């Protein structure tokens, strides 16, 4: 009887355990089911996603984001029981189209004429903007939360709604920009005019890289709700902006008849902000007439890691952690915008916008070769900063030395080379430089032109050495005899100076077989000549008043015709300079002819030669163009003209690039061809 009782108790115990385990299992399943059901996709919060395609902060177009989320960029979030849709994007990631900036943004799937009736209304709040970046750059610390974008022509933007807040401020500014639809085929002159809503407009910036303007009294805080409505009808854009506790603001703008068709129409705000960077175009008379427009909304981060030298309006120099998204999110280097209500009314006559997506999807990842920008590359070969020779430059690039880049408006060819790498046989200096394949004698001649801007020169070196902190951006080189150089065009900027000097040097074609006595005579163009140096290794001369800044464009023409070299140098805001030099008859045939500048600079080195009477007559020459770094790591005590004692990090190119021990030159345009008579 006792055994039966024990058995019954055991059976009951096992049965109870089974029930408990089964109950726990069911509870877990129910819990998992409940958790699964708790996922609320953004499309359940804002039922508009069948009308928009989504571009994420990694540059991808995910199409219509129905029942879609991405926890890095696009998801839903509750706040006080209200569901919001979160748009988030870092300072650096992959971009879309030709933009410098990342976005997590909706783009309307249809486009429409400004003559039709289309409306977008949204309620949102900005939760974060980047705390890093150069406050002198207008776009720094800002995000665009709504747009009208053109799908045609230049693809410009007649409406961009910004939020911008400086670090340390509680309140930020809300403003909207109108971008002109630039007249002509060249869009590089485009500019924005900015209208303040609450707080400042786009043009209010910091006075230096660590100073911010006064906080706006009527500004908007992070997390404070904003509602905006954009109506386009019969060619007129009507805007309404609302926020509790703030005055409602309204604007109207004609999208089919321009008010900026002449230079005289340009507002003062634009003259102060855009004209200094060469963006000084006018608008076509009919503005955005006959172009397909479409709405965009979300989080289009206007802060990026690009060097402000590239573009002082759009390149903000913010922290990007090398593009690591999670590191950027961890320390605030991102933009984040939440939306809770969005409504869209689209005309029945709106048509597919697929052409825009086809043209821009993946464009930022597509390679644009230098030969597509400057088509004369088939006439040159090149030596790069690691000693690599390249004979065929058509459809060629190298991301360390030779590639293309966009400055916010235009695509350029980039030449980059370190202070120390592999040099050519007779040089102490590295170069990423074109070498003309065809050679010519001065009597036959040739012509080279270039429009360029120097983006960087070495920040280390000995200030007493003439070649320190400089780069050569164009040359004529002799291909025989002593292989000297009758023309070298320099840019040089001392550390701490805003402006640098542009000058050109003539190197004598030394008489006799011994070339050791050769020297250069230097002609200033803007700023100082080659001979102006520091009093000691770390002291610099006065900054040139008429100099050229890093990132400032200048153009040159070198025209050798019937033995005479004609030089022309132009830069907006600077006096045009011209020079003439005879290449077949020397002016330095005796010691008495040697200029005082040369005596001061080269005589201490024993370089005191004279030139053959016929100079470069009958010698084969060729053009060179690019970045020929004049700064090296050699000991200045060996040569106080050419050995600059700069930092080279043992020749490690990546370390040199990371620490400013390199030179970088960008070319927008260049031509090569036969000479022409001087006008």
pLDDT of residue 30: 44
Q: Name the helix (H) or strand (E) containing 658.
A: helix 653-658
Q: What are the tokens at 553? A: 């464009």
Distances (CA, A) of 104 to 96, 206, 296, 343, 613: 10, 27, 10, 19, 68
d(CA 475, CA 567): 12
**Nearest Cα to Cα of residue 164 among 149, 177, 151, 152:** 177
| Rounded-to-integer distance, Cα 474 and Cα 431, Å | 12
Which is it for strands 110-111 and 411-418: parallel, antiparallel or unpaired? Answer: unpaired
Q: What is the CA radius of gyration of the chain?
A: 32
Is residue 137 predicted with pLDDT exceeding 90?
A: yes
Confidence of residue 324 (pLDDT cuts 50, 70, 90): very high
For residue 74 the two structure tokens come to: 């696009």
pTM: 0.85
Place of tokens 């050995």: 643
pLDDT at 422: 83
SS3 label, residue 637: helix
Locate 101 and state its tokens: 């900036």
Residue 123 confidence (pLDDT)? 98
Distance of alpha carbon 632 from alpha carbon 426, whole angstroms: 14
Domain range 42-365, CATH class = mainly beta
Nearest alpha carbon to residue 164 among 121, 128, 134: 128
| Residue 17, pLDDT score | 39
Edge-first strand listing for the sheet containing 411-418? 402-406, 411-418, 662-673, 446-456, 554-561, 564-570, 577-582
Residue 3, SS3 per DSSP: helix
Cα separation of 109 and 575, whole Å? 50
- Is the distance from CB of 109 to CB of 64 less than 8 angstroms? yes
d(CA 602, CA 595): 11
Nearest to 454 by CA among 386, 554, 530: 554
Q: What φ, ψ does residue 583 adopt, rounded to 5°?
A: -95, 0
Interior CA angle at 661 toward 657 and 667, to 5°? 75
- Among 194, 150, 140, residue whose Cα is nearest residue 172: 140
Q: What is the pLDDT of residues 632-650, one digit of tens each?
A: 999 999 999 999 999 999 9
Say which residue the tokens 């902000």 belong to.
273
Is the predicted pLDDT of residue 312 greater than 90, yes or no? yes
pLDDT at 200 over 70: yes
Contacts of 210 (CB under 8 A, 6+ apart): 135
The secondary structure of 464-497 as a DSSP string is TSTTTTEEEEEEEEESSTT---SEEEEEE--TT-
d(CA 220, CA 226): 9
Point out the least confidently predicted range of 85-89, 207-211, 227-231, 454-458: 207-211
Quick one: residue 606, left, alpha or beta (phi over 0 = left, psi -120 to 50 = alpha)? left
Q: What are phi and psi of 605, to 5 degrees?
A: -95, 0
Q: How confident is the model at residue 526 (pLDDT cuts 50, 70, 90)?
A: very high
Q: What is the three-class DSSP state of 614?
A: coil
Helices (H) and strands (E) in the chain, counts: 8, 33
pLDDT of residue 362: 85
pLDDT on residue 1: 40
Token code pair at residue 605:
């080195």
Residues 430 and 441: their CA atoms lie apart, in Å, by 27
- Cβ neighbours around 460 below 10 Å, total: 19
| Contact present, 165 and 152 (Cβ < 8 Å) | no
* Mean pLDDT, residues 196-218: 96
Composition of the chain by helix, strand, coil, percent to 5: 15, 35, 50
Work out the angle at residue 353's Cα, subtended by the Cα atoms of residues 226 and 57, and round it to the nearest 5 degrees.
55
**What is the pLDDT at residue 55?**
96
Greater pLDDT, 234 or 19: 234
* Other Cβ atoms within 10 Å of 139 Cβ, number: 26
Instruction: Tell me which of 4 and 368 has the higher pLDDT.
Output: 368
**Model confidence pLDDT, tens digit, residues 157-180:** 999 999 999 999 999 999 999 999
Distance of CA 332 to the CA centre of its chain: 22
Which pLDDT tens digit goes with each residue over 423-451? 877 678 999 999 999 999 999 999 999 99
**CA 75 to CA 646: how far, in whole Å?**
50
pLDDT of 24 over the 70 cut: no
Indicate the CATH number for domain 440-673. Answer: 2.60.120.200
Instruction: Return the pLDDT at 427.
Output: 75
Tokens of 279: 């963006």
Q: What is the DSSP string of 14-59?
A: HHHHHHHHHHHHHHHHHHHHHHHHH---HHHHSTTTTSEEEE-TTS
Residues 405, 311: Cα–Cα separation, whole Å: 12
Same fold, 42-365 and 440-673: yes
Task: Calculate the dihedral angle through the C-alpha atoms of 410, 156, 271, 102, rounding to the nearest 10 degrees.
Answer: -70
Whole-number Å distance between alpha carbons of 2 and 4? 5
Mean pLDDT score across all residues of the chain: 94
Q: Where are the domains of the chain?
A: 42-365, 440-673
Q: Span 444-464, mean pLDDT?
A: 98
Number of neighbouring beta carbons within 10 Å of residue 392: 11
DSSP code of residue 374: S
Residue 46 binned pLDDT confidence (cut-offs 50, 70, 90): very high
**What is the pLDDT confidence band of residue 37, given thresholds at 50, 70 and 90?**
low
**How far, in Å, are 79, 339, 458 from residue 46 at the CA level?**
15, 8, 52
Residue 5 has pLDDT above 70, yes or no: no
- Mean pLDDT of the region 465-471: 98
Give the tens place of pLDDT for each residue, 271-287: 999 999 989 999 999 99
Q: In the structure, what pLDDT confidence band is assigned to residue 193 with cuts at 50, 70 and 90?
A: very high
Q: How many angstroms separate the CA atoms of 292 and 363, rounded?
A: 20
Q: Is 373 helix (H, G, I), strand (E, B) or coil?
A: helix
* 469: nearest Cα among 448, 454, 486, 480: 454
């Amino acid at each position: 009887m006792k055994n039966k009782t024990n058995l019954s108790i055991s059976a009951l115990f096992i049965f109870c355990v089974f029930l408990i385990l089964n109950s726990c299992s069911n509870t877990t399943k129910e819990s998992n089911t409940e958790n699964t059901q708790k996922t609320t996709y953004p499309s359940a919060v804002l039922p508009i996603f069948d009308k928009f395609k989504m571009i994420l902060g990694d540059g991808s177009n995910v199409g219509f984001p129905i029942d879609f989320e991405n926890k890095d960029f696009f998801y839903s979030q509750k706040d006080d029981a209200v569901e919001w849709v979160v748009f988030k994007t870092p300072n650096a990631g992959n971009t879309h189209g030709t933009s410098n900036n990342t976005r997590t943004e909706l783009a309307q799937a249809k486009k429409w004429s400004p003559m039709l009736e289309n409306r977008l209304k949204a309620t949102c709040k900005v939760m974060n903007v980047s705390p890093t970046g150069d406050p002198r750059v207008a776009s720094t610390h800002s995000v665009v939360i709504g747009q009208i974008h053109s799908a045609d022509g230049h693809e410009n933007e007649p409406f961009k709604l910004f939020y911008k807040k400086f670090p340390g401020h509680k309140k930020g500014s809300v403003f909207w920009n109108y971008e002109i639809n630039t007249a002509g085929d060249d869009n590089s002159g485009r500019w924005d005019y900015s209208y303040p809503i609450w707080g400042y407009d786009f043009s209010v910036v910091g006075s230096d890289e660590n100073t911010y303007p006064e906080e706006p009294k009527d500004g908007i805080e992070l997390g404070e709700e904003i509602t905006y409505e954009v109506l386009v009808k019969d060619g007129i854009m009507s805007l309404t902006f609302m926020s509790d506790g703030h005055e409602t603001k309204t604007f109207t703008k004609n999208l089919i008849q321009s008010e900026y068709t002449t230079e005289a129409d340009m507002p003062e705000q634009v003259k102060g902000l855009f004209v200094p960077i060469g963006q000084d175009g006018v608008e076509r008379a009919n503005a955005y007439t006959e172009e397909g427009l479409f709405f965009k909304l979300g989080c289009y981060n206007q802060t990026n890691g690009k060097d402000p030298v590239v573009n002082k309006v759009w390149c903000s120099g913010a922290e990007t952690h090398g593009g690591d998204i999670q590191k950027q999110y961890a320390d605030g280097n991102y933009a984040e915008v939440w939306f809770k209500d969005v409504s869209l009314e689209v005309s029945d006559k709106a048509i597919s916008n697929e052409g825009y997506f086809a043209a821009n999807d993946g464009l930022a990842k597509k390679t644009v070769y230098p030969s597509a920008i400057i088509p004369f590359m088939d006439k040159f070969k090149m030596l790069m900063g690691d000693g690599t020779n390249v004979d065929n430059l058509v459809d060629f690039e190298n991301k360390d030395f030779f590639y293309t880049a966009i400055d916010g408006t235009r695509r350029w060819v980039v030449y980059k080379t370190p202070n120390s790498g592999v040099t050519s046989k007779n040089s102490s200096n590295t170069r990423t430089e074109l070498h003309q394949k065809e050679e010519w004698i001065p009597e036959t001649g040739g012509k080279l032109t270039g429009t360029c801007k120097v983006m960087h020169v070495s920040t280390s070196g000995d200030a007493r050495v003439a070649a320190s902190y400089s780069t050569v951006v164009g040359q004529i080189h002799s291909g025989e005899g002593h292989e000297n150089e009758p023309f070298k065009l320099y840019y040089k900027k001392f550390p701490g100076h805003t402006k640098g000097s542009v000058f050109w040097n003539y190197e004598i074609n030394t008489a006799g077989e011994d070339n050791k006595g050769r020297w250069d005579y230097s002609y200033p163009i803007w700023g100082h000549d080659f001979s102006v140096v520091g009093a000691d290794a770390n002291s610099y001369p006065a900054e040139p008043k008429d100099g050229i800044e890093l990132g400032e464009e200048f153009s040159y023409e070198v025209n050798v015709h019937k033995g005479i070299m004609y030089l022309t140098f132009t830069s907006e805001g600077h006096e045009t300079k011209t020079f003439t030099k005879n290449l077949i008859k020397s002016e330095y045939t005796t010691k008495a002819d040697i200029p005082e500048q040369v005596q001061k600079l080269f005589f201490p080195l024993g370089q005191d030669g004279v030139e053959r009477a016929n100079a470069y007559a009958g010698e084969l020459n060729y053009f060179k163009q690019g970045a020929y770094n004049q700064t090296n790591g050699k000991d200045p005590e060996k040569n106080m003209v050419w050995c600059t004692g700069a930092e080279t990090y043992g020749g490690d190119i990546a370390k040199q690039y990371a620490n400013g021990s390199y030179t970088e030159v960008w070319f927008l345009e260049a031509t090569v061809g036969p000479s022409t008579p001087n006008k």
